[in-house]
A = this chain, B = another copy of it.
Amino acid sequence: MINIVETKERITADNEKAAEETKKSLKEKNIFFVNVMASPGAGKTSFLCAILPELKKHYRIGVMEADVDSKVDAETIQQLGVKVIQLHSGGLCHMDADMTARGLESLGLDDLDVIFLENIGNLVCPAEFDTGATLNLMILSVPEGDDKPLKYPLMFQVSDYVLVNKIDTKPIFDFDDAAFEANVKKQNPNAKIYYLSAKTKEGIDPFLEVLINEIESYRERQ
Q: Which residues of A are in contact with B by a Cβ distance under 8 Å?
A: 39-41, 67-70, 72-73, 91-93, 120-125, 128, 141, 143-145, 147-148, 150-154, 166, 168-169, 172-173
Enumerate the 7 nearest inter-chain pairs by beta-carbon distance, A residue then B residue, closest first: A41-B144, A93-B124, A70-B150, A143-B143, A39-B40, A41-B145, A39-B39
Q: Which of B41, B120, B154 contacts A68 (CB 8 A)?
A: B154
4 additional contacts, CB 8 Å, given A70-B147, A122-B123? A68-B153, A69-B152, A92-B124, A93-B93
DSSP majority for the A interface?
loop
Within the assembled complex, what's the spacing in Å between the Cα atoms of A124 and B70? Answer: 14
Q: Which of B72, B73, B93, B121 contacts A125 (CB 8 A)?
A: B93
Q: Is the CB of A69 within 8 A of B39?
A: no
User: Which chain B residues border A121 with CB–CB below 8 Å?
Assistant: 39, 123-124, 151-152
Q: Which of B125, B141, B144 contacts A124 (CB 8 A)?
A: B125
Q: Is the CB of A143 within 8 A of B169?
A: yes
